[in-house]
Structure 1
């Protein structure tokens, strides 16, 4: 099975990456920052839903490593 390309979402400061094949659906992201992570919406990640530092802090809590980030332009 080949790895898929991560999906990317940006707010202009940071790019949020999501690798669906790594996701274990723990729900940490949804419970921790529902203004950004909302599986009932499309796209399910809204990078404009919170401040960049809040988004990064929540991404670091992802137990599977499915969520990641990098700073735009770096």
Structure 2
């Protein structure tokens, strides 16, 4: 399964596009980070590590996770 990594030097978000159900939770929760029409679509530098951890925990499909968590 394809996985993309996005790191801010402190944490790394893993995104598995094949698992994504496009619920929009990520975009609604942190629109300054998740920008589906831009590349890269995850702009991890636009939130704190804690904000990212809290948001990733809400992903209903498990497509987003934190490396090592």
TM interval, short-chain normalised? over 0.9
Equivalent residue pairs, number: 68
Long gaps (5+) in structure 1: none
Deviation at 1:40, TM superposition (A): 1.1
Q: After TM superposition, what 4+ stretches of structure 1 lie above 3 angstroms from structure 2?
A: none
TM-score relative to the length of structure 1: 0.88
Name 1:54's counterpart in structure 2: 51
Which has a greater percent of helix?
A: 2
CA RMSD of aligned residues (A): 0.9
Q: Structure 2: how far apart are the matches of 1:14 and 1:66?
A: 16
Deviation at 1:70, TM superposition (A): 2.2
